[in-house]
């Protein structure tokens, strides 16, 4: 999978300032300051990109399995918080609400691949190809959000400080609900959640 080069392979840590903005890396590796909600979502983008990069370089089946479990959990949580808490307000506030409709459709397509992967194992026909395609698809989605949707949300003057904290709290709650990404029960929950969300 071809990935956009980033200046750091380590998982980014957001740095808060007193002005209500946070330092975070963009999809192209450039450090920028963004309101808390946007910065939190971008930090999650960087984390999942790092997981895809690690999968691309993984050689052992056990490591690939662990990374795909983490990718599916991270994407399931991220999609859920965006759809529950971020997209509805954005759709009402921005100049081009069609961007949110497109994001919902892109999520549905990604969820279909996630549901398929959660029912597969390393070595199955097309397993690696599906992970690669999911990674490329997510990279495209992330770039569109960070270059088109997020700037419009910022211009719309949405309340993004409180929303950032709400997104973070809901993300942690979902991780607790879904549990250990390596467990079969978690895989079943993620598969069911993804399969349900794959159809609009």
Task: For residue 55, give both structure tokens.
Answer: 């999968």
Q: Say how many C-beta atoms besides its own lie within 10 A of residue 163's C-beta.
A: 21
Q: Please state the domain count of the chain.
A: 1
- Rounded to whole angstroms, the Cα distance separating 53 from 44 reads 14
- In a domain? residue 10: no
- In a domain? residue 1: no
pLDDT score recorded for residue 178: 84
For the beta sheet containing 15-16, the strands, ordered from the edge strand earlier in sequence to the opposite edge, are 15-16, 21-25, 31-35
Tell me the CATH number at 149: 1.20.120
- Rounded to whole angstroms, the Cα distance separating 17 from 32 reads 12
- In a domain? residue 6: no
> Under a CB-based contact definition with an 8 Å cutoff, are residues 37 and 167 in contact?
yes
- In a domain? residue 149: yes
Phi, psi of 14 (to 5 degrees): -75, 140
Distance of CA 86 to the CA centre of its chain: 13
pLDDT score recorded for residue 15: 47
Domain of residue 164: give its range: 15-197
- In a domain? residue 9: no
> Under a CB-based contact definition with an 8 Å cutoff, are residues 110 and 134 in contact?
yes
How far apart are the two ends of the chain, measured CA to CA in Å?
A: 28
- Rounded to whole angstroms, the Cα distance separating 97 from 149 reads 9
- In a domain? residue 2: no
pLDDT score recorded for residue 199: 53
- In a domain? residue 175: yes
pLDDT per residue of the chain (200 residues) written in tens, 0 to 9: 444 444 344 444 444 444 689 999 999 999 999 999 999 999 999 999 999 999 999 999 999 999 999 999 999 999 999 999 999 999 999 999 999 999 999 999 999 999 999 999 999 999 999 999 999 999 999 999 999 999 999 999 999 999 999 999 999 999 988 877 666 666 667 867 776 665 54
Name the burial class of residue 115, with classes exposed (0-12), middle (13-18) and buried (19+) by CB atoms within 10 angstroms of its CB. Answer: buried
Of 40, 5, 48, 10, nearest in space to 24 by CA: 40
- In a domain? residue 41: yes
């Amino acid at each position: 999978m071809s990935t956009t080069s980033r200046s750091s392979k380590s998982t980014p840590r957001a740095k808060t300032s007193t002005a209500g903005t946070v330092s975070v890396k963009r999809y192209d590796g450039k450090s920028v300051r963004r309101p808390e909600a946007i910065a939190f979502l971008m930090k999650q983008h960087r984390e999942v990109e790092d997981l895809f990069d690690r999968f691309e370089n993984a050689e052992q089946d056990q490591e690939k399995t662990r990374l795909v479990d983490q990718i599916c959990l991270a994407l399931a949580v991220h999609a859920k918080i965006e759809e529950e808490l971020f997209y509805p307000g954005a759709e009402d506030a921005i100049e081009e609400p069609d961007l949110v409709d497109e994001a919902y459709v892109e999520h549905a397509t990604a969820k279909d691949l996630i549901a398929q992967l959660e029912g597969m194992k390393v070595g199955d026909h097309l397993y690696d190809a599906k992970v690669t395609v999911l990674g490329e698809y997510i990279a495209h989605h992330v770039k569109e959000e960070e270059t088109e949707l997020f700037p419009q949300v910022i211009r719309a003057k949405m309340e993004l400080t409180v929303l950032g904290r709400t997104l973070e709290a809901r993300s942690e709650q979902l991780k607790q609900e879904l549990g250990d990404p390596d467990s079969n029960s978690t895989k079943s929950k993620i598969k069911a959640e993804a399969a349900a969300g794959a159809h609009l």
